[in-house]
Chains A and B, each alone.
Chain A
Amino acid sequence: MTRISVTVDGVESTDEVEPRTLLVQYLREARGRTGTPVGCDTSNCGACTVLVDGRAVKSCALLAVQADGREVTTVQGLSNGALHPVQRAFHERHALQCGYCTPGMIMAAVDLLRETPDPTEQEVREGLEGNLCRCTGYQNIVAAVRDAAAELRGAS
């Protein structure tokens, strides 16, 4: 077992983990953050995307021990109470059907907008290349991300 300290959605905790524990397992099983789903288990689909030190990563593609000393933000920690502008845009644009990809899609979009505050449609599509949606055909997802971008630019 290895001792790690990880801040998850603003709460720091020290835990003993097996080195082989994936970050997504740690988040769900040790920290109760079940808003982050396990998707494909092959690092293709991006459903498990979270932010580590503010950068989007696939939480099934790193070990919990690799997050030691770092700050993790899951979809549950994006905002306090009210919806984050990206979450609200996904709701208003109906940018989901089954919803399984949505937490990862939202986290990847937040990361994209950090770097590219005013993305073109093409930049949104390329920026979300690491996230698969098998329901929507992406159209409403792209629209939601561009709506959220406009709102975030107006707010800053």
Chain B
Amino acid sequence: MIPVGFEYSRPSTVEEAVAALAADPDAKVLAGGQSLLPVLRLRLAAPTTLVDLRDVESLHGVRVAGDDLVIGAMTTHDEILHDARVAEHAPLIAAATATVGDRQVRHLGTFGGSLSHADPAGDLPAVACALDATMVAVGPNGRREIPAADFFVDYLTTALAPDEILVEVRVPDTAGWGHRYEKFNRMAQAWSIVGVAALVRRVDGGVTDTRVALTNMGRRPVRATAVERALTGTAGDAGAVTAAAGHADEGAEPPSDVNGAADYRAHLSRVLTRRALTVAVGA
């Protein structure tokens, strides 16, 4: 199908982009379009203006700033997969990004676009939560920082105001942490039925930090804090991993849909968390 007609705007600075959004309350940002275009074609949304960010140079690319990795919102999945700094400082992002969509989608789809779309079945929101990333947004009133935990508000809904743009994501360095993104779906390029993003830091064998966030176990990403508490302080042995993973669905409210019932997802989350942690502890 063909989208409903709209005005097209292609600003070259963040300020111009914010002004274009502010000028039309029914405007939408176009990043890579890999989620937006299908939605437009199915006529599930009909924005009256699309603000294409491709020419806003400052939104593209990856840099290191102090202890943080800074990923521009318009950096494509493919660029992230080929970036040595991402592989070194935030290998969990690279691992999860490799599972996003398919190669065609990864050539166009962007890191910031995936996060701003906030699809509960999207892989990167849980990854951002597990990393305790910071979202940097710009709107008419300037720049503000939003912790990942506060950024994802509800189904397809973020803390961004309609005239705010996600410009970059600051990611704390997790070089040397064990990591794993464990994703379950039934066929290639399908969305996650459940996904688990796991990070584990060990010092002298003992687990000093555990971060686990779940994809598609609620209307937004879920931090599995009971798992984190259960594993941290243990020796990271198989028994401790299995015991911790048993808490994966605590507090989660997984959806029931055509891909699986809520209790099936709860089961999957425990199994996938065990698998993810087993890799992340390096055992």
For B34, the chain A residues whose CB sits under 8 A away are: 43, 61
Contact A18 B105 (CB under 8 A): no
The 8 A CB mask of B178-205 against A (1 = contact, 0 = none) is 0000000000110000000000000000
Given A19-B50, A41-B1, A57–B104 Cβ distance below 8 Å? yes
Report how many residues on chain A are interfacial, defined by Cβ distance under 8 Å.
Answer: 32
- In the bound assembly, the distance between CA atoms of A97 and B4 in angstroms comes to 36
Contact A20 B103 (CB under 8 A): no
Size category of the B interface is 20 to 34
Given A19-B5, A20-B6, A126-B188, A61–B103 Cβ distance below 8 Å? no
Contact B33 A130 (CB under 8 A): no
- In the complex, whether A133 has a CB less than 8 A from a CB of chain B is no
Partner of A61, one of B8, B38, B42: B38
Contact A19 B188 (CB under 8 A): no
For B78, the chain A residues whose CB sits under 8 A away are: 55
For A43, the chain B residues whose CB sits under 8 A away are: 34, 37-38, 105
- In the complex, whether A12 has a CB less than 8 A from a CB of chain B is no
Among A44, A55, A57, A111, max chain B CB count under 10 A is at: A57
Given A41-B1, A43-B37, A130-B104, A19–B6 Cβ distance below 8 Å? yes
Chain B residue, CB-CB nearest to A104 = B104
For B33, the chain A residues whose CB sits under 8 A away are: 61-63, 66
Chain A residue, CB-CB nearest to B1 = A41
For B103, the chain A residues whose CB sits under 8 A away are: 56, 108, 111-112, 127, 129-130
For A58, the chain B residues whose CB sits under 8 A away are: 104-105
Chain B residue, CB-CB nearest to A54 = B107
- In the bound assembly, the distance between CA atoms of A56 and B78 in angstroms comes to 11
The 8 A CB mask of B91-113 against A (1 = contact, 0 = none) is 00000000001111101100000
Closest Cβ of chain B: how far from A69's Cβ, in Å? 10
Contact B7 A41 (CB under 8 A): no
Closest Cβ of chain B: how far from A61's Cβ, in Å? 5
Chain B residue, CB-CB nearest to A59 = B104
For B144, the chain A residues whose CB sits under 8 A away are: none
Chain B residue, CB-CB nearest to A48 = B104
- In the bound assembly, the distance between CA atoms of A111 and B102 in angstroms comes to 12
Closest Cβ of chain B: how far from A104's Cβ, in Å? 9
- In the complex, whether A13 has a CB less than 8 A from a CB of chain B is no
- In the bound assembly, the distance between CA atoms of A52 and B50 in angstroms comes to 21
- In the bound assembly, the distance between CA atoms of A141 and B76 in angstroms comes to 28
For B63, the chain A residues whose CB sits under 8 A away are: none
For B40, the chain A residues whose CB sits under 8 A away are: 20
For B188, the chain A residues whose CB sits under 8 A away are: 126, 129-130
Partner of B2, one of A20, A56, A66, A130: A20
The 8 A CB mask of A7-25 against B (1 = contact, 0 = none) is 0000000000011111001
Contact A130 B8 (CB under 8 A): no
Given A2-B8, A66-B52, A41–B104 Cβ distance below 8 Å? no
- In the complex, whether B117 has a CB less than 8 A from a CB of chain A is no
- In the complex, whether A46 has a CB less than 8 A from a CB of chain B is yes
For A57, the chain B residues whose CB sits under 8 A away are: 104, 107-108
- In the bound assembly, the distance between CA atoms of A66 and B188 in angstroms comes to 27
- In the bound assembly, the distance between CA atoms of A46 and B34 in angstroms comes to 13
Which residues 237-269 in B have Cβ within 8 Å of A in the complex? none
Chain B residue, CB-CB nearest to A46 = B104
Question: Can you name 12 A-B pairs with beta carbons within 8 Å?
Answer: A19-B5, A19-B50, A21-B2, A22-B37, A49-B104, A56-B107, A57-B104, A61-B104, A62-B108, A66-B33, A126-B188, A130-B101
- Identify 10 new A-B residue pairs, CB closer than 8 A, beyond the known A19-B8, A20-B40: A19-B50, A20-B3, A20-B6, A41-B41, A49-B104, A60-B37, A62-B33, A63-B30, A65-B10, A112-B103
Complex A-B, nearest 7 residue pairs according to Cβ-Cβ distance, in ascending order: A130-B102, A19-B8, A129-B188, A55-B107, A20-B3, A130-B104, A58-B104
